[in-house]
Structure 1
């Protein structure tokens, strides 16, 4: 059939990597929405009533930053993926499973004013989430020719350092919850910059005048 009404028009479809990124973005959006819905305003009309919500405010801010860091690192890490293997896809789902538990752990910690057991659980969730991210990262780098050996070693050292911080935070939380929570905040700083920046790679490959 050539031309005319009813002829199918070929349209480029999304690659598997784009679909994986799109699905992950949607999950992150839902998780943040759930956390926002957990926020409850004070019953009092006074500004000082906000101060009584300090556990909720602190817990929400830290969890929001954690999810933002995960998304940013995931976004740049996916720039190293051309065609994701089944293992990469399943590791991504496993990673999202632990991320999806962040609203629950955040709400429990906030409701108990950063009590020991909730903070320990919160820290262990960070360990599980970051541990799964490490496996996800390793699997992607193993099959990518886009990353240099130097960049690989630097990225892996930082990822393992962050994981060690989270493990230490979980241990310290068994002694004093504030120590564990404080170390979690410090560990987040290690992932503020993306592991795999596409912008850096573009600068290297762009022609110079």
Structure 2
């Protein structure tokens, strides 16, 4: 009984810490939004790159949090290995405000979009490793085999699109940005969330 309580508290602490880090990342990102100096609506138009890049990055962080939330509900006693995977994933996510600000300020120029797409690749790889570790330890009754297969296929498809976007960004950064947006749609609904709050 005590061991079960300890493992639950440990898993809860890992989830709470991750939530706090993600909240800080979102706060840092929103601080990059600067209001226009002129008091008319036409002053907003030059900022569309900032708004779009912020919206896409915000969606990405929301997807990360949602998927992380459902994965954490499957975690039993968190191993040191799982904790380090989580830290690696959060480390990469922490670069998102920097990457978002760069593509916004350069109006989706090639090099910043290459960096942005490559960051998505790295974050997705880290998440795939974390997801695989959690699902490997999860009970079959919690996550059926079909859900595991679908989650794996979805993750690999999104990763492939992010990788293609990284290459495409060298010659067509706006198209690459569009590919990133499309890949995010694959992560909107986690397969292992069925029947869970």
Q: TM class, shorter-chain normalised?
A: over 0.9
SS at match of 1:134: helix
> Deviation string for 1:41-72 (max 9, x for gaps)?
11111101001101100110000000000000
Residues 151, 190 of structure 2: 8 Å contact kept: no
Residues 120, 174 of structure 1: 8 Å contact kept: yes
What's the offset of the Cα at 1:194? 2.2
**Quick check: 1:174 aligned with 2:173?**
no
Return the match for 2:99 from 101, 105, 117: 105
Higher-Rg member (1/2): 1
What's the offset of the Cα at 1:196? 2.1
| 1:163 alignment counterpart | 159
Residues 60, 106 of structure 1: 8 Å contact kept: yes
| 1:74 alignment counterpart | 68
Task: Report 1:126-137 matches (<5 A).
Answer: 126-137=120-131
What's the offset of the Cα at 1:201? 5.4
Q: Distance in 1 between matches of 2:56 and 2:119?
A: 13
Q: Normalized per residue, which structure has more helix?
A: 2
Please tell me the root mean square deviation across aligned C-alpha atoms, in Å. Answer: 1.4
Gaps of 5+ in 1: 1-11, 203-209
> Deviation string for 1:79-119 (max 9, x for gaps)?
11111111110000000001000000000110000000000
SS at match of 1:15: helix
| 2:41 alignment counterpart | 47
| 2:50 alignment counterpart | 56
What's the offset of the Cα at 1:195? 3.8
Q: Distance in 1 between matches of 2:196 and 2:27?
A: 33
| TM-score normalized with structure 1 length | 0.88
Return the match for 2:12 from 11, 18, 30: 18
4+ runs deviating over 2 angstroms? none
Structure 1 pair 201/33, CA: closer, same or farther in 2 (3 Å)? Answer: closer
Return the match for 2:89 from 95, 110, 128: 95
Residues 70, 196 of structure 2: 8 Å contact kept: no
| 2:195 alignment counterpart | 200
Q: Distance in 2 between matches of 1:31 and 1:201?
A: 26
| TM-score normalized with structure 2 length | 0.93
